[in-house]
Structures are given as structure tokens and as C-alpha cells.
Structure 1
């Protein structure tokens, strides 16, 4: 849906139904007022009575009421005065050939008669506007001179005003569908409208007309034109185009309105603005009319309890699509930014919609993540084998969760960056809760499903999940140790499960160190290494980084168990030669462990000094030298305690108790931990 939320190039849509004033649009019904005006003109009869002029002027000034009520036949009656008293012979008629009509004298000669002007206007000749204005001024001069009777002046003014009604309808009819009108014809109509505006301003500046005449200016034709634009915008935007399936009614409606407004305003800017006088503000007139209508539609929609989808659509429309794709679009930005249309909804309403959106989205995310975990847990219990991807056990759970969160985050950011920031904090809370639920579900699986065929494969698949989660979290939230804690626990429990049987198999082999009094330590260690090597393929379906971590755990186990056997207090060597021989055996074993584990992928360089340094303590004979070595050792392994030291010194049977005590005291000095400190001796119990 998000990809369709644009106003250009919507896939699968049919051409929009348009208005007559835009190319390719179907013919639109004319307004009631236009139809009635033409009907009344056709009903002109020489027997009709002239209506009071005051009623006609009142009708002119009350445009809104006139558009809602049916017009009286006064206009038809008014035009009946054109036939009263005309000559039977020799008088031109509206059907007179055009070549004869065009030979009439212009303003330099006698003014055309009312009947001639009506005939011109009936034929759409807007050139009649100039003599009509001259006729109006002549009437005003006659009234000011006082030579004519009141009845004659009223009758003459009625004729003039009837002609103005006809001229106005002609002009506004052309301006109602300006893109269908030839440019020259449009310029002519605009010139008439502009001249009428100037005459309105002149009338206001010079004062009222002679009291015997009814005041007819200002006529407000420009205002009528703007009202027509607003009506046209409403008719244009109230239509509904057919879009591809999958959109709600509100989505279809507002996508149509957005695209229509954009295309229409571009046409106004490109084709109408060069023709219209600048003071008409043609772009502003259309833009403000479209804006008002859309704002009213949005305000009405916002009053209802919207579904999640429509709430998002409404916010996206108001905060992103409308200001970016219309107001600031390349072809319109320069025009519309000056007009300053403002927001489609008030800030308070927007905040309420944003709060609703965030609440809806978080609830949806929570539900979708819970559903994904439930489905994954069912696969574990049902002993469904995990997928294999690039030789590794693979689960879709991490991908599903990341996609759910990312899509929700993207939706919020698509509306506004600030809303995206708010959503990010809320999603962090929900992801942390999910990871805790994930850890609990995995722990339950480890306890209950040990006998299943695909148990170990599913364990590895879930450990591999941790990589995707960890990468996503670190990229999105950076400092996230608390968030990653459940993943660390899940991975640790998974490793313990995978290594449990291997470590169990190694236990009797390590016992041989003490059973044979270290006589065959090299052979015993080779047997241990061989056992581990045979079992390593079991872990190849882990991701490389986790296989390295697991190998580090194996490395740690070998070193730890070797120290445990060395600290059993069963080996006491009295002579320096015996101690040096044991030290050489320990060093050789340490090199074998280090070489094997490093070759197998262990990154645990921090373990490299654990056994060689102990071998050095066993080899040294000078208490002072032993102290220095112990002090150095404690910096590498801060959890090396006096108890551990005592177990090692017990091997050196030639040390006195006072020397042992002196050497032990060196651990009372806090030398500070080495920067690569990890637990080793805290895993070893002595005593």
C-alpha cells in the first residue's frame, strides 16, 4: 500500500473522470443558474411586463440565495422590453446577416441599439461589452442632466441591466471551462471581466449613481468567478476514479483527490496563469478552492472512528503526501509556497491522530511478534527440521521479527521524522519484551524436547538467530547491552546443550592425569584432543562466528580441566629436577592445546598464558622469582586466588611453609586486572 501512496504513476488505475475545464474530461452538467438563464432568455415575449428594477438589483446582490432558489421569470420579462415599440420594417434583427451587422458604426458613431447589443450577445460577441458600458454611462449622464422622466430612465436602466446579465453569463460561462476556450477568446472574456472590475472601482471612488437610478455597482463579477472556481473544484474532487483492488474507500478517495489537485493545478500554472491578469490570482483561486474542499473532507473523516489503515492513510496524506507531493512538487512549489495554504488539519487533531496511530501500530507489532514466536515454537515441539541456508541451520523467526519492526518504523518515519523517533522508543520496549519471551520459550524447549530427532539442529538454528538479532539491534539502537541480555542467555544455554555430551565424554579422560600420576600426560592429552576433533563436525551448521565462540568454550574447558587435575594436591615433587620435568610436560601439553584449539578456530588468545605461566611457577626455585611470576600471573588472571596458588605451590615439596606464606602474600597487592580479563579460576574449585 505504501508504494501506491503517490499521485503520479499509480499502477492499475483507469483514467480519472475529469471536469470539462481539463483536457480529456467528459462533459459536465451545467449549473442550474445557467440553464435557467438561457431558458428565460428563450421565453422573451413582447407581451411580458417590465419587472421593477429594484427586484432585479436585489437578485444580483444576493448571489448565494439566488443559486439555491429558482429564479423568477423576471429576466425573460425584462428582455421583453427589447421588442416593445420596435419598427416593423428596416430594423435589424438578431437573425440579420453577419456582414451587415459588422458594417455598423463603432463607438465613433451612434451607439448600437439595445436590440442590436442583445443580438450580438446572443451570438456570443463579447465586443458588445464596450458599447454596453458606453450605453450605461450615457444613461448615467442623462439621469444627472435631469432631462428625462423617471419612467424613461427606469425603463432604459432595466434594458441595460438585462444586457449586463446576458454579458455576465457569457463571460463567466467561458471562464468556467477556461481550458476548453481558445486562448484569444479567453483573453477577450478576461479583458471584459477586468474592465468591469475597473468600472466597479471607479464607481466606488466617484460615489453613488444619481438617486433616480438604482445603484448597480459594484457588480462583483470577479467574486462570482471565484465562487465558480470553488464550485468547479468541489465538482471536480467529488468524483471517484477506479483504482486497483486492495484499497479502502477512503484511500481511493484521497488518492484521487491528491492526483486530481496536482494535475489540475499544474495545468492552471502552465496554461492559465500566462493568460489571466496577475491581479486575478488565478493560481491562488484554484489552489485555495481545492485546499478548502480537501480540508473539509479530511475534517469530516477525522470525526469518525477510523480503522488502523485509514488512520495511517490520513496522517500520511496530511503530513507527507500533500505538503511534499503537491505543495512542494517541482512544478508547483514556487507558486503554492507564496500562497501559504497551511495544514489540512489543525495541530491538535493531528496530535490525536498520531497518538492513535502509534497505539494501533504498537499493538499490531506486539500481536504479530507473538504470533511469529508461537508458530516457531510449534515447529520445535512438532520436531520440524529447520531450513538449511548456506550450510547453516536457519530459522525465519529473526527475519520475521526484524521485518515487523522495520516496517512499523518505516511507516512512522514516512509520516514525519519526529513520529519515527517516537515509534523507535516504543518499539525498543516491545522488542525487549519479545526477546525475554523468546528466551523463556527456548528454555522450555531445551528442557522438554531433548529426545526429538531435530533437537540439536533446532538449537543451532536458534543460536544462529542471535546473529541477525544482534546485528539489527546494534545498528538500530547502538548501545543495547540490556536489550541483548536475553540473547546472550539464549546463546549460552544453547552452547551448554550442544557441548554437554562432549564434555561428558572427556571427563573420564581427564581423570587419567591423576590416576597415572602424570606419567603418560602427553598420551592422555592426545586422546582428549582426538576425541574433540572427531566431534567438531557436529557444530559446522552453526554460523562461523558462533562456531568460533563455541570453540573458545572448548578451549576454556580443556585449560580449566587441565588446571583442575594439576591442582588436586596428589602430586608432590621434592626435587628441582622433578619440578622442571613436570614443568616441561605442562608446557608441552599447553602448546598442544593451544595449537589444536587455534587451528580449530578458537579466538581465545587470552588463554595462551594460563598453562605456560603455571609451568614457569613450578619450574622456578627462587622464592623471589616465584613472587614476581605470581604477581605477573595475577594481572593476567585476576581471579587467581590464594587457594589456587596454594594448590600449585603444593606440588613444590621443597618450599618451606614460611616461603609459601611469603609467596601467597604477593596476592594481597592489588595490581589491577589485565584489560583482556575473562573468568578462568572462578570456574575452578579448590580445597
Structure 2
């Protein structure tokens, strides 16, 4: 990837440099000794402070707007992002935080009280910038898919989110609680970026998952190996993400694999009439579950909450005693509160030796175990069943 010189913020207007006169080494002693503030009435001091805050906010707004414009221009011109320690990198976050930090330091150099007054002003400017950044990034995603460096710039912008977040939290969190909405645009940029990076991969996996039902689960290990091989082939590109984002992205992949596997099980196209057949399928599911878990954790997924999703479904399919199945279902529903009667019915449909009354009794356990809980993370709410 190419490298480029780091952008420097444009020179500040004369109005914003007036405080430098007060801090001049030649004049500082005399001005401080004169105590000029006491020569002005409080109302005039307030007006001067308000004027300074307004001018400084306008100055910061202009500088960060210009920086974003230059960055968006670079994306549109298909300029490759820098590479820093093997990761796609952009200077945008550094430039913006520097501009805002200079505004904060300038106010504090006049009085600490003025520094406290400018802090919420600068946070408001930062939020407006991040909202503009999100809009510019979405426009880039929609208009420039054909560019050679499109995906590299997507990765650079995802990495930018970490730089913004860490810089903002480090600078301001000790001073005051950050508003919850402030960094929301960064979450949206990251989410949209992940969607773009994974769209092609998930599209390629769709026909592979379809093989489970087309072959009536005759060779599930072979099908899963093809799926994991397709994922493995797409992973090298993601090494350009920072580690934390690679782990997040791999958790999304992990969730997708588990979700799609359950979706294929829930198609109601497989009916096994004997306990032996059901136990054989359960062994296949258990082996596949271990393969998915091992693959995803080896590549960085921290999604431990998914580890029981497939093995417990295998257990429900394996068990023959309705009461034992009820216990497994009740436990399962505490782990995955969005597991519904519709999902359970689709799994129970595999058990061709289960009577209608037994299936109805097993489903009724969800009336008790669900208890109106809201899932902390979605799994079954992402799976449609007929």
C-alpha cells in the first residue's frame, strides 16, 4: 500500500491567534501584573468570552470539515491507504483529534474557566463531524464499489474507529461522562464496513449450506469442510484490520456459520423415524459443532455464548424420553431466550417417532422457561422458520 505525507491542519485565522499576544513572553509579566480582567466589567468579559468561544468553534468546524473533504477526495480518487504495522491506516483521526485538542489548549491557556466552557462546545463539534464522517463513508460505500482500493479503504476507515474512540475516551472521559450518542456514528461506520467486507463471503457460503438439505445430510462433515475452506480462503484480507476488529469480525462469521447451520436443520425436509437414525444425526451435528467452534476460536472469535447452540440441539434430537427432552429445552431457552416454539417445532419435526401430543407437551415448556426475557444477543430471532 502507498504511503503519503501526513496532512497538516491549515494555518489558523488571525482572530484565533489573538490569545498568543497575551501569552507572549515579553508581555506576559506586565499583562498579568496589570490584572486587566479587573479593568473590564463582568458583562464585557462575558461577551468577550462568548465571542472567543463562537470564533473558536467556527475555526475548529472549518478545519475539521476541510480535513474530511480532503480524506473523502482521496477515497474517490482511489488512493490506497497507508500501511502501518501491516494494518490499513488513515491519518484522519489523528488530524481531527489534534485540531480539537488545540482548540481546548488555546482556551485553557487564557483561563481554566474558559477551558471548561469550551469543552462541551468542542464535543458538539466532534459529534457533528462524526455524523458528517458517517454520511461521507456511506456515500463512498454506495458510489465507489468499482475502485481497486475500495476494500482497503473500507478497512482503513474501520481501523479509524478505534483511533477516534481511544483518543476521545482518553482525553475527555476523565473530565466528564461522555454522552452515549457521541460515538454512535463510529459504531455505524464499523457495522457498515463489516457488512461490506463479509457480503461476498456470505454469498459464496449460501449454496454450500444448501448442500446439507439437498443431500439429506448424507455427508455433513464433507459439506462443512467445504464451508470452512471457503471462509479460510477469505481470511488473509482481514489481517489488515486491527486485532480487536479482526476478533469482532470473526465473531460475526462464527454467528453466521451457527445461524445458517441451524436454519438448514429447521427446513423440515429431514424426518428420521428411528432412534438410531436420530442418534447418528446428533453425532454429525456434535462433530460439526466442534469443528465450527475450533475453527472460529483459532481465528480469533471470542463468541463463547455460541458454544452450546448446536450441541444442545444435537442432544434434543438424540434424546428419546419426552421428559428428558423437556429439561434440555428448558435449559436451552435460558441460554437463548429468542428460541421460540416455531424453532422448536422445526427441530422436533426431525424426530419422526414423536407423537403429536408428546411434541405439544415439549413445546409447552417454553411457556414457562421463556419468562419474557430479552436476549442479550440475537441468534434465533435471525432465523426464519416456516
TM-score computed with the length of structure 1 as normaliser: 0.51
Say whether residues 1:653 and 2:348 are aligned partners.
no
Q: Which residue of 2 aligns with 1:552?
A: 251
Mapped partners of 1:630, 1:409: distance in 2: 57
Q: Which residue of 1 aligns with 2:268?
A: 569
Deviations, residues 145-166 of structure 1 (Å, cap 9, x unaligned):
xxxxxxxxxxxxxxxxxxxxxx
Q: Which residue of 2 aligns with 1:618?
A: 317
Pairing 1:308-327 to 2, within 5 Å after superposition:
308-310=16-18, 312-313=19-20
Q: Which residue of 1 aligns with 2:112?
A: 417
Pairing 1:3-42 to 2, within 5 Å after superposition:
none
3-state DSSP of counterpart to 1:561: helix
Deviations, residues 112-165 of structure 1 (Å, cap 9, x unaligned):
xxxxxxxxxxxxxxxxxxxxxxxxxxxxxxxxxxxxxxxxxxxxxxxxxxxxxx
Q: Is the alpha carbon distance of 1:531 and 1:247 closer, same or farther for their aligned partners in structure 2, counting shifts above 3 Å?
A: closer
Say whether residues 1:358 and 2:53 are aligned partners.
yes
Q: Which residue of 2 aligns with 1:380?
A: 75
Mapped partners of 2:353, 2:204: distance in 1: 37
Q: Which entry has the higher C-alpha Rg, 1 or 2? A: 1
3-state DSSP of counterpart to 2:38: coil
Residue pair 1:387, 1:393 contacting (<8 A) in 2 also: yes
Deviations, residues 542-567 of structure 1 (Å, cap 9, x unaligned):
11111111111111111111001110
Mapped partners of 1:543, 1:358: distance in 2: 37
3-state DSSP of counterpart to 1:677: coil
Mapped partners of 1:664, 1:610: distance in 2: 18
Deviations, residues 156-201 of structure 1 (Å, cap 9, x unaligned):
xxxxxxxxxxxxxxxxxxxxxxxxxxxxxxxxxxxxxxxxxxxxxx
Deviations, residues 342-368 of structure 1 (Å, cap 9, x unaligned):
835333332221111100010011111
Q: Which residue of 2 aligns with 1:406?
A: 101
Which runs of 5 or more structure 2 residues have no equivalent in the other structure? Answer: 1-10
Residue pair 2:65, 2:129 contacting (<8 A) in 1 also: yes
Q: Which residue of 1 aligns with 2:65?
A: 370
Q: Is the alpha carbon distance of 1:594 and 1:518 closer, same or farther for their aligned partners in structure 2, counting shifts above 3 Å?
A: same
Pairing 1:124-143 to 2, within 5 Å after superposition:
none
Mapped partners of 2:114, 2:290: distance in 1: 58
Residue pair 1:315, 1:353 contacting (<8 A) in 2 also: no
Deviations, residues 506-557 of structure 1 (Å, cap 9, x unaligned):
1111111011111100011011111111210011111111111111111111
Q: Which residue of 2 aligns with 1:468?
A: 163
Mapped partners of 2:187, 2:355: distance in 1: 47
- Cα displacement (A) at 1:247: 12
Deviations, residues 574-598 of structure 1 (Å, cap 9, x unaligned):
1111111111110100000000000
Say whether residues 1:397 and 2:87 are aligned partners.
no
Mapped partners of 2:169, 2:12: distance in 1: 36
Match of residue 528, structure 1, among 220, 227, 231: 227
Q: Which residue of 2 aligns with 1:347?
A: 42
- Cα displacement (A) at 1:316: 5.9
TM-score computed with the length of structure 2 as normaliser: 0.90
- Cα displacement (A) at 1:660: 1.6
Match of residue 453, structure 1, among 136, 148, 163: 148
Deviations, residues 373-427 of structure 1 (Å, cap 9, x unaligned):
1100100110011111111101111111111111111111222222222211111
Mapped partners of 1:500, 1:430: distance in 2: 33
Mapped partners of 1:321, 1:649: distance in 2: 82
3-state DSSP of counterpart to 1:393: strand
Q: Which residue of 1 aligns with 2:336?
A: 637
Residue pair 2:12, 2:59 contacting (<8 A) in 1 also: no
Mapped partners of 1:342, 1:591: distance in 2: 73
Q: 617-626 or 370-379: which moved more?
A: 617-626
Mapped partners of 1:613, 1:315: distance in 2: 72
Mapped partners of 1:635, 1:480: distance in 2: 33
Deviations, residues 294-349 of structure 1 (Å, cap 9, x unaligned):
xxxxxxxxxxxx93322x346768xx9559x955xxxxxxxx9xxx9983533333
Mapped partners of 2:379, 2:12: distance in 1: 62
Match of residue 131, structure 2, among 429, 432, 436: 436
Aligned residue pairs total: 369
- Cα displacement (A) at 1:616: 1.1
Pairing 1:559-598 to 2, within 5 Å after superposition:
559-598=258-297
Mapped partners of 1:620, 1:538: distance in 2: 43
Q: Which residue of 2 aligns with 1:507?
A: 206
Q: Is the alpha carbon distance of 1:498 and 1:377 closer, same or farther for their aligned partners in structure 2, counting shifts above 3 Å?
A: same
Deviations, residues 586-621 of structure 1 (Å, cap 9, x unaligned):
010000000000000111111111111111111112
Q: Is the alpha carbon distance of 1:341 and 1:374 closer, same or farther for their aligned partners in structure 2, counting shifts above 3 Å?
A: closer
Q: Is the alpha carbon distance of 1:638 and 1:473 closer, same or farther for their aligned partners in structure 2, counting shifts above 3 Å?
A: farther
Deviations, residues 264-313 of structure 1 (Å, cap 9, x unaligned):
xxxxxxxxxxxxxxxxxxxxxxxxxxxxxxxxxxxxxxxxxx93322x34
